[in-house]
């Protein structure tokens, strides 16, 4: 129930925001060549002559019936636009978080375990650095190296999965740094505790102690953070999409807002809201599986 209420509120807020914003979709389509007559005709054709509440009501009724309407800017169904953009953003977000998680676990555990060695300290410095570097800059550096100099990967635009590699790495880097830090902090305390000493004394292999006994205790915090990162990315890969020229949901939303393309903006925002809510739900189950102490109220 609250799920439906949240989605409704989100759609209402985005509609109001777009109404408050100055600018008119018909005017934007016609640009500086538009005459009064052409503007009036186009507004009629796009249905902009109807009052705002009526348009919102129409959109809502259609949306509930699964009809996302037609984009004002592209003259094609919003559904077609979303179907093309959604997989790109989903893949970006999912693989970026998985990659971040994978690298964080490895570097985090080792730098915590060998915190006195020079390379353990080095890894900590690197993870601090990774958190501090702006993403668009990392993206541009990666493009310069892998696309322009080495010509191994596309510089941008979307042709196939190869186009996603550099953006995924770009997105994963700062997130991996954050997660690495969490693994280090979590493990740092645990490694000096009694049960670890017991496990070592039992003669268990060091790797088993590290990953099975020590790491799993810090895993909940890491998983929670990774979940939050995933949610953030579903709604916020826009900067990286821009740098790499990827036609994902972020770019679609940006284009929609700039053109005041109401059906497009509404649908994308509501779909992202639904995706975020679903991801949160899934994360709750993951946490439940990781820690038996967690209980649903």
Q: What is the footprint of other proteins within residues 37-56 (CB under 8 A)?
A: 37-39, 41-42, 45
Q: Is 233 in the site for other proteins (CB under 8 A)?
A: no
Shortest spacing between CB 4 and other proteins, in angstroms: 30
Q: Is 242 in the site for other proteins (CB under 8 A)?
A: yes
DSSP, residue by residue, the chain? -HHHHHHHHHHHHHHHHHHHSS--HHHHHHGGG--HHHHHHHHHHHTTTS-HHHHHHHHHHHHHTT---B-TTTSSBHHHHHHHHHHHHHHHHHHHHHHHHHHHHHHHHHHHHTTTSHHHHHHHHHHHHHHHS-HHHHHHHHIIIIIIIS--S-SSS-SSTHHHHHHHHHHHHHHHHHHHHHHHHHHHHHTTSHHHHHHHHTT--HHHIIIIIIIHHHHHHHHHHHHHHHHHHHH--HHHHHHHT--SHHHHHHHHHHTT-HHHHHHHHHHHHHHHHHHHHHHHHHHHHH-TT----
Q: Which of 31, 51, 66, 292 binds other proteins (CB under 8 A)?
A: 31
Measured CA to CA, the distance from residue 78 to residue 86 in angstroms comes to 12
Q: Is 7 in the site for other proteins (CB under 8 A)?
A: no
Q: Could you tell me which stretch among 19-27, 123-131, 186-194, 207-215 binds other proteins (CB under 8 A)?
A: 19-27
Q: Which of 48, 81, 109, 262 binds other proteins (CB under 8 A)?
A: 81
Q: Is 289 in the site for other proteins (CB under 8 A)?
A: no
Q: Could you tell me which stretch among 101-109, 119-127, 176-184, 287-295 binds other proteins (CB under 8 A)?
A: 101-109
Q: Is 207 in the site for other proteins (CB under 8 A)?
A: no
Q: Could you tell me which stretch among 6-14, 73-81, 114-122, 276-284 binds other proteins (CB under 8 A)?
A: 73-81
Q: Which of 124, 260, 272, 273 binds other proteins (CB under 8 A)?
A: 260
Q: Which of 6, 60, 86, 98 binds other proteins (CB under 8 A)?
A: 98
Q: Which of 69, 108, 130, 154 binds other proteins (CB under 8 A)?
A: 154
Measured CA to CA, the distance from residue 39 to residue 25 in angstroms comes to 10
Q: Is 238 in the site for other proteins (CB under 8 A)?
A: no
Q: Is 15 in the site for other proteins (CB under 8 A)?
A: no
Q: Which is nearer to other proteins, 146 or 200 (CB)?
A: 146
Q: How many residues does the chain have?
A: 297
Q: Which residue has the tokens 């991801």?
A: 279
Which residues of this chain interact with other proteins, rule CB under 8 A? 21-24, 27-39, 41-42, 45, 73-76, 80-81, 84-85, 95, 98-99, 101-102, 105, 140, 143-144, 147-148, 151-159, 161-162, 165, 242-245, 247, 251-252, 255, 258-260
């Amino acid at each position: 129930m609250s799920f439906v209420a949240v989605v409704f509120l989100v759609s209402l807020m985005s509609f109001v925001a777009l109404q408050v914003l100055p600018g008119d979709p018909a005017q934007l389509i016609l640009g500086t060549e538009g005459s009064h007559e052409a503007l009036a005709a186009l507004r009629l054709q796009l249905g902009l002559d109807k009052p705002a509440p009526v348009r919102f009501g129409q959109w809502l009724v259609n949306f509930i019936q699964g009809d996302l309407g037609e984009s004002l800017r592209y003259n094609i169904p919003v559904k077609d636009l979303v179907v093309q953009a959604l997989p790109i953003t989903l893949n970006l977000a999912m693989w970026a978080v998985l990659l971040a998680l994978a690298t964080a676990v490895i570097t985090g555990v080792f730098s915590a375990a060998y915190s006195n060695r020079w390379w353990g300290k080095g890894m900590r410095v690197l993870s601090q650095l990774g958190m501090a570097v702006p993403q668009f800059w990392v993206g541009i550096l990666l493009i310069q190296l892998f696309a322009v100099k080495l010509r191994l990967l596309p510089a941008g635009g979307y042709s196939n999965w190869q186009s996603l590699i550099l953006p995924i790495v770009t997105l994963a880097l700062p997130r991996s740094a954050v997660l690495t830090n969490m693994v280090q902090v979590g493990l740092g305390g645990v490694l000096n505790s009694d049960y670890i000493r017991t496990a070592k004394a039992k003669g268990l292999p060091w790797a088993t102690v590290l990953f099975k006994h020590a790491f799993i205790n810090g895993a909940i915090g890491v998983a929670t953070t990774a979940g939050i990162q995933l949610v953030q990315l579903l709604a916020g890969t826009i900067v990286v999409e821009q740098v790499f020229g990827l036609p994902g949901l972020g770019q679609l939303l940006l284009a929609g807002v700039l053109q005041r393309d109401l059906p497009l903006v509404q649908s994308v925002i509501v779909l992202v809201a639904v995706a975020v809510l679903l991801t949160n739900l899934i994360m709750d189950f993951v946490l439940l599986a990781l820690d038996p102490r967690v209980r649903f109220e």
